[in-house]
Copies of this chain bind each other. A is one copy, B any other.
């Protein structure tokens, strides 16, 4: 007889997204999420630092794609390196995840507290990319600027990708947005 069902963390994340989508973030208690997953509130806080984090855990792997993308690029021009990293990061969002991403973003867009957390994560991504670029020998200011631009491109591309009716892959959308940025800056 097994004492605990496996996958507690994943069950909590699924239960949270489902409840948030149905009743809103504020209208859902942590105890309720835990109960839906067959666990207790205390266990929830052992897996996630706070109530909001349940929607953002997994970001680490996403950031790692950017880091390895920067480190593995053969380019020397900062924006070209960033473009390679953006390309590598699209692997985190295959088309099968589009519906899930859309639902998750809908929940985030409905709550300022969740938007705060998202901004903090993206800010952390920019910091990480800046560091990676500087380790490649890029000038500090140029590195920060290129990293911020890269994050901006990702944001716009991601929003487009999950928009109703959009059918292109994230990689395709991202290439188009990057091209648009280049023509605007020129």
Chain A residues close to B by CB (< 8 Å): 112, 115-117, 119-120, 123, 141-142, 144-145, 148, 152, 156, 180-181, 184-185
Chain A interface main SS type:
helix
> Does the CB pair B141–A180 fall under 8 Å?
yes
Partner of A152, one of B116, B120, B148, B180: B148
6 inter-chain pairs at a CB distance below 8 angstroms, sorted by A residue, are A119-B119, A141-B184, A142-B184, A144-B156, A145-B152, A145-B181
Query: Nearest 7 A-B pairs (CB), nearest first?
Result: A116-B116, A119-B119, A116-B120, A185-B185, A119-B123, A148-B152, A145-B184
Assembly CA distance A112 to B123 (angstroms): 11
Residues of chain B within 8 A (CB-CB) of A115 are 120, 123
Assembly CA distance A152 to B144 (angstroms): 10
CB distance from A145 to the nearest CB of B (A): 6
Assembly CA distance A142 to B115 (angstroms): 23
Residues of chain B within 8 A (CB-CB) of A120 are 112, 115-116, 119
Assembly CA distance A148 to B154 (angstroms): 14
Residues of chain B within 8 A (CB-CB) of A145 are 152, 181, 184
Residue in chain B with minimal CB distance to A119: B119
Q: Could you list 17 further interchain pairs (A-B, Cβ under 8 angstroms) beyond the known A145-B181, A148-B152?
A: A112-B120, A115-B120, A115-B123, A116-B116, A116-B117, A116-B119, A116-B120, A119-B120, A119-B123, A141-B180, A141-B184, A142-B184, A144-B156, A145-B152, A145-B184, A148-B148, A185-B185
